Structure 1
Amino acid sequence: MRVMVFVKATEDSEQGMQPSPELNQMFIDMGKFNEELVNAGVLVAGDGLKPSSFGKRVAFDGSRRTVIDGPFAEARELVAGYWIWEVKDMDEAVEWVKRCPNPMFGPSEIEIRPFYEMEDFVDVIPAEAAEIHDGVGEKLANR
């Protein structure tokens, strides 16, 4: 089962990173945790994200598109980083997150969400769409 693990942003993370001994230790601790994930065959991908002040959103309304510049309100609703993990089930993902060092200096949250797999759509996706998705998957695998 693939899951995406979101490190939720905080007011501090939205301010950007300033060099400090605490930040240095956080990078070391998180590096060691990532190494554990790799050694266990769990980590597929992951990275930290710059504060939302560097970001943009595109709002859709029918055929209209509106670009919205960051920063965005409600830091706790934003994502500061992510991992993609391959785990046997949600319980395993939860156990890994419980072992994670706190990714922020104060209170923080990590959210875990499973990916949809093509099997989830077997009863609703048209054959033509399934072929397109399969073809995209093959192209990605061959990159």
Structure 2
Amino acid sequence: MRFMVIIKADADSEAGVMPSEQLLTEMGRYNEELVKAGVMLAGEGLHPSAKGARVRFNGSARTVIDGPFAETRELIAGFWLWQVRSKEEAIEWLKRCPTPMADGCEVELRQVFEAADFGAELTPELQAQEDRLREQMARPSQAGTA
């Protein structure tokens, strides 16, 4: 099963304060452990919300809202995508993580839906489409071609 590990933002991450060399070193070692164990599928830090945008959907209308966004506790500073056997295993890995933010923080763990979770609504045709898309995503492509 896959889990998204969501590192919540804080005032420093939203201000663009970069992590210390010590934290980068500790996180590098931790990420190496995750990779060697076959747990880590992806992981990245995110720029502050001031560099981001949101798109609000209301019927056919689309409204763009530029950052920054006020509620820091609702923002994400980074993430990992992990493959583990259970929620308990993901929690054990997460408990070994160096503290991501200088003043402490909260890290959220959320299971990613798998095809089987959608039941009969995921028809064989939709499953085939999903399989084709995943295969295409696995191949190198040119970024930014929309």
Greater mean deviation of Cα atoms: 95-104 or 22-31: 22-31
CA distance in 2, matches of 1:86, 1:6: 14
CA distance in 2, matches of 1:47, 1:142: 20
Task: Give CA-to-partner distance per residue, 1:20-48, whole Å, 9 cap, x none.
Answer: xx711111111111111111111111000
Pairing 1:8–2:8 present:
yes
- Give the residue type in structure 1 aligned to 2:77: A
Structure-2 residue corresponding to 1:30? 27
CA distance in 1, matches of 2:111, 2:96: 19
Structure-1 residue corresponding to 2:118? 121
Alignment of 1:80-95 (within 5 A): 80-95=77-92
Task: State the aligned residue count.
Answer: 140
- Give the residue type in structure 2 aligned to 1:128: E
CA distance in 1, matches of 2:66, 2:124: 39
Contact (CA 8 Å) 1:7, 1:79: kept in 2 or not? yes
Greater mean deviation of Cα atoms: 133-142 or 40-49: 133-142
Which structure 1 residue ranges, 4+ long, deviate > 3 Å from structure 2?
none
Secondary structure of the 2:20 match is helix
Give the TM-score normalised by the residue count of structure 1: 0.92
Alignment of 1:1-143 (within 5 A): 1-18=1-18, 23-143=20-140
Task: Give CA-to-partner distance per residue, 1:49-98, whole Å, 9 cap, x none.
Answer: 01000001111001110110000111111110000101011000000110
- Give the residue type in structure 2 aligned to 1:101: P
CA distance in 2, matches of 1:89, 1:40: 14
Contiguous gaps of at least 5 residues in structure 2: 141-146
- Give the residue type in structure 2 aligned to 1:15: A
Q: 1:133 Cα deviation (Å)?
A: 1.4
Give the TM-score normalised by the residue count of structure 2: 0.90
CA distance in 2, matches of 1:96, 1:40: 10
